[in-house]
């Protein structure tokens, strides 16, 4: 994996997913390993982010690497009109690995083509967020003991939720059955369903959250954003129909776990936090181990 870019989750093979998951497990046991003492990691956040940026920078620090970069393009020469290409060429002369988030879809792919050092996509608009996907897979492995043959339910905004798109693509490698719960106007895009069909896997679509409770091994919740609706009345109608509460967990499978890429607003009520099914905060913590694994693998030290 040395020197590889990670732009889209499909850039990695099934073996590479499993390798990252295994290395991450090692970092979880022993997080402080100064393997990248002589490395500089550029953290370029053209758009704000809390979890992704902090967990990447924590991961780099725990590996002993130095981090340079910015958390908002307002303080950079992008504001003066510098092209992404020029910024990336320049930074690739400074750093050993570039981690970037950008508001435009495809920005990370373009950056990886002009950069002389590996680029890790930390989110490009509504397109891909592959490191979130890897940490989701790590969390699934950790809670289920396997990635194979699982029933995975995705709830909420399946149209614009990039974490959903990436995870659907990745889990197509593991004979998953997909249960898709969303309002009519936020269904999974056909390009994503094409991945499922191409792998001869099954998916089922629902509009009621309760329907999937007895079936799912993993319940992957997402936030429904008001700005996705052109009609505010439509939003009001659906916003409370995809809220997970403690009482709804009765009758779920004993191994069922709830994941959420966070931030959560109201779609998981706080009484769920105390249940054995809640896994989303541990999932966020897993982001550090998975990003350590990625940085180490791409730098060629693991």
Q: How far is the CB of 280 from other proteins (least distance, A)?
A: 26
Element (H, E) at 20: helix 14-29
Query: How far is the C-alpha of 134 from the C-alpha of 69, rounded, in Å?
Result: 23
Element (H, E) at 42: strand 40-45
- Residues between 173 and 232 that touch other proteins (CB under 8 A): 190-191, 194
What is the token pair recorded at 29?
Answer: 């046991």
β-strand pairing of 257-259 with 40-45:
unpaired
Q: How far is the CB of 242 from other proteins (least distance, A)?
A: 25
Q: How far is the CB of 62 from other proteins (least distance, A)?
A: 32
Q: How far is the CB of 9 from other proteins (least distance, A)?
A: 10
| Contact stretch for other proteins (CB under 8 A) within 60-68, 81-89, 270-278, 287-295 | 81-89
Active site residue 52: yes
Contact by Cβ (8 Å): 123, 150:
no
Taking CB under 8 A as the criterion, the residue among 18, 61, 106, 269 binding other proteins is: 106
Taking CB under 8 A as the criterion, the residue among 105, 270, 273, 285 binding other proteins is: 105
Q: Which CB, 127 or 182, lies closer to other proteins?
A: 127
Query: How far is the C-alpha of 34 from the C-alpha of 123, rounded, in Å?
Result: 27
Element (H, E) at 254: none
Per DSSP, the three-state class of 179 is: strand
Q: Which residues, listed in sequence order, are joined to residue 120 by a DSSP beta bridge? A: 6, 99
Residue 126 near other proteins by CB under 8 A: yes
Element (H, E) at 154: strand 151-155
> Catalytic: which of 129, 165, 223, 302?
129
Taking CB under 8 A as the criterion, the residue among 52, 121, 128, 292 binding other proteins is: 128
> Catalytic: which of 4, 51, 109, 187?
51
Query: How far is the C-alpha of 255 from the C-alpha of 143, rounded, in Å?
Result: 8
Task: Give the count of residues interacting with other proteins (CB under 8 A).
Answer: 20
Per DSSP, the three-state class of 172 is: helix
Active site residue 246: no
Active site residue 101: yes
In degrees, rounded to 5, the angle at the alpha carbon of residue 93 between the alpha carbons of residues 88 and 96 is 90
Query: How far is the C-alpha of 44 from the C-alpha of 117, rounded, in Å?
Result: 14
Q: How far is the CB of 108 from other proteins (least distance, A)?
A: 9
Active site residue 51: yes
What residue has token string 């991961």? 59
Residue 300 near other proteins by CB under 8 A: no
Q: Which CB, 2 or 85, lies closer to other proteins?
A: 85
Q: Which CB, 104 or 246, lies closer to other proteins?
A: 104
| Contact stretch for other proteins (CB under 8 A) within 35-43, 52-60, 124-132, 140-148 | 124-132
Active site residue 204: no
Residues carrying an active site annotation: 51-52, 80, 101, 129
Task: List residues near other proteins by CB under 8 A.
Answer: 8, 83-85, 102-107, 109-110, 124-128, 190-191, 194
């Amino acid at each position: 994996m040395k020197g590889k870019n990670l732009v889209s989750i499909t850039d990695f093979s099934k073996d590479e997913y499993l390798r990252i998951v295994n290395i991450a497990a090692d970092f979880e046991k022993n997080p402080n390993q100064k393997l990248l003492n002589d490395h500089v990691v550029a953290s370029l956040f053209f758009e704000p982010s809390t979890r992704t940026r902090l967990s990447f920078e924590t991961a780099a620090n725990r590996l002993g690497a130095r981090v340079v970069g910015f958390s908002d393009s307002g303080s950079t020469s992008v504001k003066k009109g510098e092209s992404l290409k020029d910024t990336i060429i320049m930074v690739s002369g400074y750093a050993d690995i570039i981690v970037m988030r950008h508001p435009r879809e495809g920005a990370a792919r373009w950056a990886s083509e002009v950069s002389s050092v590996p680029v890790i996509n930390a989110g490009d608009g509504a397109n891909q967020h592959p490191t979130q996907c890897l940490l989701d897979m790590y969390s699934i492995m950790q809670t289920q003991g396997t990635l194979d043959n699982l029933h995975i339910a995705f709830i909420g905004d399946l149209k614009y939720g990039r974490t959903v798109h990436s995870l659907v693509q990745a889990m197509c490698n593991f004979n998953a059955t997909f249960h898709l719960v969303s309002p009519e106007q936020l269904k999974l895009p056909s390009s994503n369903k094409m991945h499922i069909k191409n792998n001869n896997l099954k998916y089922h679509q629902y509009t009621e959250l309760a329907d999937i409770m007895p079936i799912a091994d993993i319940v992957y919740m997402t936030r429904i954003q008001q700005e996705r609706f052109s009609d505010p009345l439509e939003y009001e109608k659906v916003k409370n129909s995809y809220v997970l509460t403690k009482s709804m967990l009765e009758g779920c499978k004993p191994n069922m776990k709830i994941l959420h890429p966070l931030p959560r607003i109201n779609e998981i009520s706080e009484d769920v936090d105390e249940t054995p099914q809640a896994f989303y905060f541990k999932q966020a913590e897993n982001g550090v181990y998975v990003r350590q694994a990625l940085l180490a693998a791409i730098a060629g030290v693991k």
